Amino acid sequence: MILNDIFILMKQELMLLGIIMILLIIKVGKDWSNESLLNLINALLLINVMSGFMMPAEGFLFGDMFKTNSLITLEKNILNIGTLIISLQSYSWLKNHKHLIEFYILMLSTLLGMFYMVSSGNLLMFYLGLELSTIPLAAMANFDLEKRKSSEAALKFIISSAFSSGLLLFGISLLYGTAGTLSFTEITSHLTNTPLQIFSFVLILAGFSFKISVVPFHFWTADVYEGSPVAVTSYLSVISKGAVLFVFVSVLYTVFKPLAEVWYNMLFLLSVLTIVIGNLFALRQDNIKRFLAFSSIAQVGFILVGISGSSQMGTASVIYFVLIYIFSNLGAFGVVSLVSAIAGKENISDYRAFYKTNPFLSWVLTIALFSLAGVPPTAGFFGKFFLLIAGAEQGNYILIAIAALNMVISFYYYLRIVKSIFMDPNEHPIEKLTIPMMPKIALFICLAGIVVIGLWSSIYEYIYSLSTGF
């Protein structure tokens, strides 16, 4: 009976495990060419995505270690889709990579970690999921083995995340000491506004904040994003962040509900800081990955605004925004990854006059940036709008005003890139790139996502119907 449950409730995790096993077997077995491997893997990932939508179920497993419901399933599906897109986009980079299989094994195990984290019903599983989704990522960050920057990024990542997980653990241990349990549902009833619990909450919040790069816990982000291979950067910035955000929302809204007043104010403070600092740093970046890192920090600030709304709309808007953010950011990263892999250029100044040589890629990048900036009719507009509406629900219009004005700064730097692409002259523009099939598919998926998710309201309504409020 339990086995049956496991198969039904854990099907997404089991799918991933299966793929990891297949890859292991292939690795141990005979050599495949990279192309065929990539085809196989992408096919498997596609199956994985599709299977995620089948047979939705709801329930707990192993006590409170694992829970699932339609919202969690949806979140996992979102992550699955993102992973598939990243995998498609990384085609050019992975095609010549010697450790292709290992890369996928690591990536899928981090994804698995995220799934467990999203499904976790207690702090232990949450912590393990978090670590499972972090430690292999550090290794992945080093996958440009020849590049010093890559290992520097990996080093910074592992050291910072070890530090942050140390603090997180300390917080968890204190929470355990005051509540006597690791189970989310039981912790809630033990929470009072004692200083120690607030302190432990801050530590846990810092752990989350680290992963989603909230200022001042964000410093690793830019360095790691810049040094890592583009595939890893995009994975870090959308999938890893998205997963933690999902957990963050549900943990805040359910587990730490008694501390709502405290964390509401904290989120206010942090979101303002995050938006402002993210924007200010993004203003003057030249490396496009580093730039996207800071822009994604600012985006997280907006998400925090949405979270601070602490309502059903808050949850829905955050999930919705993450979905949009995945498509928009991956649209941008898709182009960046192609240019990086084929032309080896990663600076914004290299993108000058990009439109002359690569109109299609330019449009994709532009639309993706517009979506990130929140320009209609792209989905980003809807995402941001709803986040801010959710944030305003508490009546904190100062926060909304600050956020809205910061959107203007963010426009500046997004438009700066658009300006480079379209307007600046360049003697040596990036040459005309031939886009392989898979990245092309990925770009089209992103474009479709950017356009459709916003305008087609059913998606939001579906997410909303699954979300729970405060």
Partner 1 sequence: MNEIPLTHILFVSTALFFIGMYGFFTRRNMITILMSIELILNSVNINFVAFNKYLFPQNLDGIFFTIFIISIAAAEAAVAIAIIINMYRSLHSVDVNETSELKF
Partner 2 sequence: MNLNLLILIPFLTAMAVLFCKGLKQVRAVALLGSGLQLILALGLLYRFYDERAAGNLSQMLFEFNYHWFAPLNINYHLGVDGISVAMILLTSFVVISGVLVSWSMDTLNKEFFFLLIFLSMGAYGFFMSLDLFTMFFFLEVAVIPKFLLIGIWGSGKKEYSAMKLALMLMGGSALVFVGLIGLYFNTNIEGAHTFDLLQISKMKIPVEAQMLFFPFAFIGFGIFTALFPFHTWVPDGHSSAPTAASMFLAGISMKLGGYGCLRVATYLMPEAAHAYAGIIILLATIAIIYGAFATLMQTDLKYINAYSSISHCGFVLLGIGMLTQISITGAVMQMVSHGLMTALFFAAIGMIYSRTHTRMVAQLGGLLKVMPFISAVFVIVGLCSLGLPGLSGFVAEMTIFVGSWQNPDVLYRVATILACASIVVTAVYILRATGKTVLGPITDTHFNKLGDALWNEKLAAVILIVGIMAIGILPFWLNDLITPGSQQIILQTGQNIMLK
Partner 3 sequence: MNIYSYIALIPLLPFAAFVLLGLFGRKYFNTVSGILGTFTLGISTLLSLATAYQYFFVDGKVDGVFTQIIPLKYTWLQFSPNLSIDMGIILDPLSVMMLVVVTFVSLMVHIFSLGYMKGEERFATYYSFLSLFTFSMLGLVLSSNIFQIYMFWELVGVSSFLLIGFYFEKPSAVAAAKKAFIVTRFADLGFLIGILILSFHAQTLDFQTLIARLTDPQSSQMLSITTASFMGISMLTWGLVLVFAGGAGKSAMFPLHIWLPDAMEGPTPVSALIHAATMVVAGVYLVGRLFPVFVFDGAALIIVTYVGAFSALLAAVIACTQTDIKRVLAYSTMSQIGYMMFAMGVSGKGGEEGLGYMASLFHLFTHAFFKSLLFLGAGAVIHMVHSNDMKDMGGLRKLMPITHITFLIACLAIAGIPPFAGFFSKEEILLAAFHSNKLVFFVALFTSGLTAFYMFRLYFSIFWSKETQQHSEHHDEGPLSMKIPLIILGACALLAGFAPIASLVTSDGKEIETHIDVLFSLTPVLLAITGILLALSLYKKESDKATKVANTFGGFYRTAYKKFYIDELYLFVTQKIIFNLVGKPSAWIDKNIIDGMMNKLAEGTGVVSTQIKGLQSGKVQSYALYFFFGIMGLSALFIYLLK
> How far apart, in whole angstroms, are the C-alpha atoms of residue 16 and residue 251?
25
Residue 138 as a binder of partner 3 (CB under 8 A): the answer is no
Which one among 386, 440, 442, 447 touches partner 2, defined by CB under 8 A?
Answer: 386
Give strand pairing partners of 30: none
> How far apart, in whole angstroms, are the C-alpha atoms of residue 220 and residue 293?
10
Which one among 24, 43, 405, 437 touches partner 2, defined by CB under 8 A?
Answer: 405
Which one among 40, 124, 342, 441 touches partner 1, defined by CB under 8 A?
Answer: 124
Closer to partner 3 by Cβ: residue 360 or 412? 412
Residue 212 as a binder of partner 3 (CB under 8 A): the answer is no
List, in order, residues 6 or more apart from 447 with CB less than 8 Å away.
331, 364, 367
| Residues in the chain, total | 470
Phi, psi of 47 (to 5 degrees): -60, -40
Segment 234-263, which members bind partner 3 (CB under 8 A)? Answer: 262
Residue 190 as a binder of partner 1 (CB under 8 A): the answer is no
Residue 393 as a binder of partner 2 (CB under 8 A): the answer is yes
> How far apart, in whole angstroms, are the C-alpha atoms of residue 328 and residue 369?
7
Place of tokens 């956020």: 403
> How far apart, in whole angstroms, are the C-alpha atoms of residue 450 and residue 468?
25
Nearest to 412 by CA among 369, 452, 446, 377: 369
- Determine contact, residues 118/68, Cβ cutoff 8 Å: no
Assign 67 to helix, strand or coil: strand
Segment 99-118, which members bind partner 1 (CB under 8 A)? Answer: none
- Determine contact, residues 449/379, Cβ cutoff 8 Å: yes
Closer to partner 1 by Cβ: residue 65 or 400? 65
Residue 182 as a binder of partner 1 (CB under 8 A): the answer is yes
Nearest distance in Å: CB 268, partner 3:
11
Q: How many amino acids of this chain bind partner 1 (CB under 8 A)?
A: 41
Place of tokens 């942090």: 270
Residue 354 as a binder of partner 2 (CB under 8 A): the answer is no
* Stretch in the footprint of partner 2 (CB under 8 A) among 26-34, 94-102, 328-336, 369-377: 369-377
Which positions from 149 to 188 touch partner 3 by CB under 8 A, shown as an x/- string?
------xx--xx--xx--x---------------------
> How far apart, in whole angstroms, are the C-alpha atoms of residue 470 and residue 315?
9
Nearest to 343 by CA among 361, 326, 328: 361
Closer to partner 3 by Cβ: residue 75 or 226? 226
Nearest to 267 by CA among 226, 216, 304: 304
> How far apart, in whole angstroms, are the C-alpha atoms of residue 354 and residue 340?
13
Residue 162 as a binder of partner 1 (CB under 8 A): the answer is yes
Residue 145 as a binder of partner 1 (CB under 8 A): the answer is yes
Nearest distance in Å: CB 281, partner 1:
8
Question: DSSP string spanning 244-311?
Answer: HHHHHHHIIIIITGGGHHHHHHHHHHHHHHHHHHHHHHHTT--BHHHHHHHHHHHHHHHHHHHHHT-S
Query: Where along the sequence are the contacts to partner 3 (CB under 8 A)?
Result: 155-156, 159-160, 163-164, 167, 195, 198-199, 202-203, 205-206, 210, 216-217, 219-220, 222-223, 262, 265-266, 269, 277, 280-281, 283-284, 409, 412
Query: Where along the sequence are the contacts to partner 1 (CB under 8 A)?
Result: 123-124, 127-128, 131, 135-136, 138-139, 142, 145, 148-149, 151-156, 158-159, 162-163, 166-167, 169-170, 172-174, 176-177, 180-182, 222-224, 226-227, 290
Query: Where along the sequence are the contacts to partner 2 (CB under 8 A)?
Result: 312-313, 316, 370, 375-377, 381-382, 385-386, 388-389, 392-393, 395, 397, 400-401, 404-405, 407-408, 411-412, 415-416, 418-419, 422-424, 457, 460-461, 464-465
